[in-house]
């Protein structure tokens, strides 16, 4: 008898349930968060999936996501205040995008990021972007095609453009915090903007036409100095940034032909080696770029059957790439005076003792820094054609 | 008192799990906070020093191969002084049992189950610890053998999966930290990973089959455990970077969050918590076993088993009040805890060796006549 009572007692342990159980239908799965600062208060907006609209069976044709907004003195408070509006608690475990408003970025971003790094539910594999000329809420308020969840569209677009064009850069929270805290490198973030008719953007109508009235597109890189956004790079400079920091996976670069017209080089392998050193007591950086590519398209009359032509194209590419890189470094050294490339880090790695002496005035040193650039391009193939038909086209 | 015996390979596994213990989760960030990207070098130096400490233990223990540390103290220092010194060892072992309970409960609280009361998690953990100790050393050793393979497979797969994320730039420049800082934090590492192994003298050599082999197991086990920590620290620094490693409370857990093989194998951080629960469990069991057995021998009680349940309850209660907050715990570990461990784990054994040297002849005579 005693034994039965004991067994029953043991079993009763299993009836108590679990403190931390959370059923799927109690979660508001959030895929994108936006943070703005309005009149000294944080406004947080969360793009939350509407589960019934995502499944094709029960879809009624309304928007697959919804946006909750709340204001608070801190980001955390604002996030909790959302429960005033949302029937479920915000669950950020699957977050893909964090959009920061431009105004907030100009005032300084780091204070708003602490919660996201500290909270246990969040993972650090989401991208951080800056809403250019807009608030984050406006960016999250646009419906999209192909990927009907806007956050997924933003995530995938950034991933694709980063790896096949290399004028944007997907930066995760960890990388951003590392850039904000480490010596000898300042942060960059990719800008995001809404083009077209902002009025129609939020409605489902937006995606009913072939050309959506409002679209979300990526702009180029935003330059930070310390905690604050100080300006934007152009497309060329953004590419230059990716060239310098070895972030290019594949890209297409137009170069000018020996005569007239243009040719496009498809870069298939790109490797930048950055080395810092001290020469006569002053810091220097060597950039060695090894690239491989193909002739992607020819819009001029050159003879691709000649090896010399290939050599000339390689030379032109090398020269023009150097031009882009020099231009980028020049802008950063003179216009923004911010070392976003991590030159300081490279110098630190090579000579920690000397670095200690100059790190306090690194921003000034950076503007004076000499950068030696060497580019080696190897062109292999010319696609499925040898010579272009352009030569034979009748006048 | 008891006729339990474990063999030397079982002891090896216990030593490895004991050494890995809590270090696998807490050491990378504690060391990176002090010596930045050189933390992994610190661990290498610390492991080296730790081996010396372990060598000291084996030497001491083998003077009287049939005695546990508590009995050894009484033998060498005489009855009353010996009992007082033994009490210090027992206090350490018991305090650390509670401290490990706090560790495991807090870890689950922070990363997995924030709404579950700490006491509920600690009762569950203490339940299986008490169960293990009641069943005896042989059972503990056998279950360690089984779970060690789980541990090994999980650990190796973790290393392989995270290896693609290594960025060598993160560990450069090598040797930037000052030598003084490196030494200081490697001493801290010795305190955490090696000098606490003094409680294993309650197992070694009294309850081991072939003592000669077991001496080797003790040293090799500590070395293997050290290598595991070296690898984990190196991975943390080279994948997460020194700043991030120092900021995280449990850096190696954060490390497993980074695993992503082809967008397919990802979100497997439960693996690293399994690893940790296994190693913390065995570390806690050995602490608890040492404290319970120590008290029994101190008070000349024939069987230690009746003590397990009440002491287990006290340990749970202690684990709730031992640290008022996590910042207190981190500070305590780095200051008072380190000195306490070093005192009990290094100073006392050295003292014992000195006294033994002085009283060698009369002690030999004693044991010869009795």
pLDDT tens digits for range A16-69: 667 777 778 888 899 999 999 988 889 999 999 988 887 777 777 788 899 999
Q: Per-domain residue ranges for chain B?
A: 8-363
Q: If pLDDT is split at 50, 70 and 90, which confidence band does B312 have?
A: very high
Higher pLDDT, B163 or B368: B163
Name the least confident of A52-61, A109-118, A240-249. Answer: A52-61
Banded pLDDT at B294 (limits 50, 70, 90): very high
Whether B95 contacts B314, CB under 8 Å = no
For chain A, give the percent of residues with pLDDT over 70. Answer: 99
What b/e readout covers B249-266, taking b as 16+ CB neighbours within 10 angstroms? Answer: bbbbbbbbbbbbeeeeeb
Residue A228 CA neighbour count, 13 Å, CB half: 5
A350 touches chain B (CB under 8 A): yes
Q: Grade residue B365 by pLDDT with cuts at 50, 70 and 90.
A: low
C-alpha closest to that of B171 among B228, B226, B241, B230? B241
Pick the more confident residue, B268 or B319: B319
Q: Is the peptide bond before A295 cis (omega within 30 degrees of 0)?
A: no
In this complex, the residue of B115, B120, B243 whose CB is nearest that of residue A182 is: B243
In this complex, is the C-beta atom of A312 within 8 Å of any C-beta atom belonging to chain B?
A: no
In B109-243, beta strands by DSSP E: none
Which positions in chain B touch A17 (Cβ < 8 Å)? none
Per-residue model confidence as pLDDT tens digits over A272-285: 999 988 888 888 99
In chain A, positions 212-231, which contact chain B (CB-CB < 8 Å)?
none
Asked if B116 and A19 come within 8 Å (Cβ–Cβ), the reply is yes
CB contact under 8 A, A348 and B173: yes
What pLDDT shows up at residue B160? 92
CA distance B24 to B279: 9
> How close is the nearest chain A Cα to the Cα of B115, in Å?
6
Distance from CA of A53 to the nearest CA of B (A): 25
Average pLDDT of chain B? 88
Range picked from A318-327, B263-272, B358-367 for highest mean pLDDT:
A318-327
Interchain contact, B257 vs A123, CB within 8 Å? yes
**Nearest chain A CA: its distance from B243 CA (Å):** 7
Q: Is the predicted pLDDT of residue A205 greater than 70, yes or no?
A: yes
User: Which helix (DSSP H) or strand (DSSP E) does residue B207 occupy?
Assistant: none
Task: Select from A20, A348, A350 the Cβ nearest to the Cβ of B113.
Answer: A20
Sequence-ordered list of residues with C-beta below 8 angstroms from that of A260, at least 6 positions apart, any chain = A300
For chain B, percent of residues with pLDDT exceeding 70:
97
pLDDT reported for residue B18 = 93
Backbone angles phi, psi at B76, to 5 degrees: -80, -45
**Nearest chain B Cα distance for residue A188, angstroms:** 18
Tell me whether residues A178 and B241 touch, CB distance under 8 A. yes
Would an 8 Å CB–CB cutoff place A22 in contact with chain B? no
Structure tokens at A371: 């950068």
- Tokens 């308020």 appear where? A141
* pLDDT per residue as tens digits for the range A116-158: 888 888 888 899 999 988 889 989 988 888 888 899 999 999 9
Residue A254 phi, psi dihedral angles, 5° rounding: -75, 135
* CATH 3.40.50.300 at A235-395, yes or no: no
Nearest residue in chain A measured CA to CA from B116:
A19
A139 close to A69: Cβ distance less than 8 angstroms: no
Ranges in chain A annotated CATH 3.30.300.210: 235-395
Does pLDDT of A104 surpass 50? yes
**What mean pLDDT is predicted for residues B47-63?**
90
Beta bridge partners of A215: A195
pLDDT score recorded for residue B369: 42
pLDDT tops 60 at residue B367: no
CA distance B266 to B260: 5
Interface touch B169/A182, C-beta < 8 Å = no
pLDDT over 80 at B4, yes or no: no
What does the alpha-carbon distance between residue B207 and residue B214 come to, in Å, rounded to a whole number?
10
Tell me the per-residue pLDDT of B179-232, one tens digit each, with 9 for 90 and over: 888 888 888 889 888 888 889 988 888 888 887 888 888 999 999 999 999 999
**pTM as predicted:** 0.89
Q: According to CATH, what is the number of the domain B8-363?
A: 1.20.1740.10
User: Looking at chain B, which residue has its C-alpha nearest residue A126?
Assistant: B258
Residues B73, B218 contacting (CB under 8 angstroms): no
> Are residues B176 and A352, on separate chains, in Cβ contact within 8 Å?
yes
Whether the CB of B112 is below 8 Å from some CB of chain A: the reply is yes
Who's near B27: CB < 8 A, 6+ residues apart?
B43, B189, B192, B193, B229, B232, B233
Closest by alpha carbon to B7, among B137, B150, B154?
B137
Residues paired with A382 in a beta bridge: A384
Mean pLDDT of chain A: 87
Closest residue in A to B114 (Cα) is: A20
- Contact of B315 with B98, CB cutoff 8 Å: yes
């Amino acid at each position: 008898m005693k034994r039965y009572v004991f067994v029953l007692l043991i079993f009763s342990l299993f009836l108590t349930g679990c403190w931390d159980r959370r059923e799927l239908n109690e979660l508001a799965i959030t895929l994108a968060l936006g943070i703005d600062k309005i009149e000294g208060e944080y406004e947080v907006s969360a793009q939350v999936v509407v589960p019934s609209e995502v499944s094709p069976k029960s879809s009624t044709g309304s928007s697959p996501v919804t946006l909750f907004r709340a204001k608070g003195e801190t980001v955390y408070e604002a996030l909790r205040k959302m429960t005033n509006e949302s029937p479920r608690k915000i669950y950020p475990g699957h977050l893909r995008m964090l959009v920061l408003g431009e105004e907030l970025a100009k005032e300084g971003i780091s204070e708003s990021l602490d919660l996201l790094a500290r909270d246990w539910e969040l993972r650090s594999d989401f991208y951080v972007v800056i809403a250019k000329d807009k608030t984050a809420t406006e960016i999250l308020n646009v419906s999209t095609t192909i990927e009907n969840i806007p956050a997924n569209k933003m995530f995938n677009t950034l991933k694709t453009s980063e790896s096949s064009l290399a004028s944007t850069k997907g930066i995760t929270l960890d990388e951003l915090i590392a850039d904000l805290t480490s010596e000898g490198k300042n942060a960059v973030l990719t800008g995001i903007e809404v083009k077209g008719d902002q009025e129609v953007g939020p409605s489902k109508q937006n995606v009913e036409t072939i050309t959506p009235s409002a679209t979300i597109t990526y702009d180029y890189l935003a330059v930070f100095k310390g905690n604050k956004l100080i300006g934007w790079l152009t497309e060329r400079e953004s590419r230059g940034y990716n060239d310098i920091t070895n972030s290019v996976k594949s890209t297409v670069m137009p170069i000018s032909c020996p005569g007239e017209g243009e040719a496009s080089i498809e870069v298939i392998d790109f490797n930048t080696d950055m080395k810092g050193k001290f020469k006569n007591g002053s810091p220097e950086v060597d950039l060695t770029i090894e690239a491989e590519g193909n002739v992607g398209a020819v819009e001029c009359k050159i003879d691709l059957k000649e090896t010399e032509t290939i050599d000339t194209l390689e030379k032109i590419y090398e020269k023009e790439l150097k031009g882009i890189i020099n231009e980028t470094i020049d802008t950063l050294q003179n216009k923004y005076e911010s070392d976003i490339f991590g030159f300081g880090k490279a110098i630190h790695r090579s000579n920690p003792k000397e670095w200690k002496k100059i790190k306090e005035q690194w921003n000034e040193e950076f503007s004076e820094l000499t950068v030696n650039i060497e580019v080696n391009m190897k062109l292999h193939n010319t696609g499925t054609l040898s010579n272009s038909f352009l030569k034979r086209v009748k006048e | 008192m008891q006729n339990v015996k474990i063999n030397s390979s079982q002891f090896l596994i216990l030593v490895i799990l004991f050494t890995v213990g809590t270090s696998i989760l807490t050491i990378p960030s504690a060391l990176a906070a002090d010596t930045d990207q050189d933390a992994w070098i610190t661990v290498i130096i610390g492991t080296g020093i730790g081996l010396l400490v372990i060598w000291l233990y084996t030497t001491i223990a083998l003077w009287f191969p049939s005695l546990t540390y508590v009995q050894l103290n009484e033998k060498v220092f005489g009855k009353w002084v010996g009992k007082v010194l033994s009490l210090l060892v027992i206090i350490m072992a018991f305090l650390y049992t509670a401290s490990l309970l706090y560790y495991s409960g807090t870890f689950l609280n922070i990363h997995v189950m924030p709404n579950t009361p700490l006491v509920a998690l600690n009762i569950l953990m203490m339940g299986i610890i008490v169960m293990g100790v009641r069943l005896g050393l042989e059972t503990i050793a056998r279950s360690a053998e089984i779970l060690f393979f789980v541990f090994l497979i999980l650990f190796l797969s973790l290393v392989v999966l995270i290896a693609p994320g290594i960025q060598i730039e993160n560990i450069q420049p090598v040797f930037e930290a000052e030598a003084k800082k490196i030494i200081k934090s490697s001493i801290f590492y010795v305190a955490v990973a090696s000098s606490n192994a003094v409680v294993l003298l309650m197992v070694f050599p009294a309850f081991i089959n072939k003592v000669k082999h077991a001496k080797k197991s003790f040293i090799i086990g500590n070395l293997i455990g050290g290598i595991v920590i070296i690898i984990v620290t190196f991975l943390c620094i080279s994948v997460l970077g020194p700043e991030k490693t120092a900021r995280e409370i449990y850096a190696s857990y954060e490390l497993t969050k980074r695993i992503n093989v082809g967008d397919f194998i990802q979100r497997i951080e439960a693996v690293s918590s399994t690893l940790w629960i296994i190693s913390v469990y065995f570390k806690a069991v050995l602490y608890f076993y040492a404290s319970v057995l120590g008290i029994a021998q101190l008070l000349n009680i024939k069987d230690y088993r009746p003590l397990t349940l009440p002491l287990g309850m006290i340990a749970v209660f202690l684990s709730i009040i031992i640290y008022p907050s996590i910042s207190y715990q981190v500070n305590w570990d780095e200051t008072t805890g380190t000195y306490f461990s070093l005192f009990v784990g290094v100073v006392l054994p050295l003292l014992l060796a000195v006294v033994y040297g002085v009283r060698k002849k009369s002690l030999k005579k004693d044991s010869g006549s009795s």
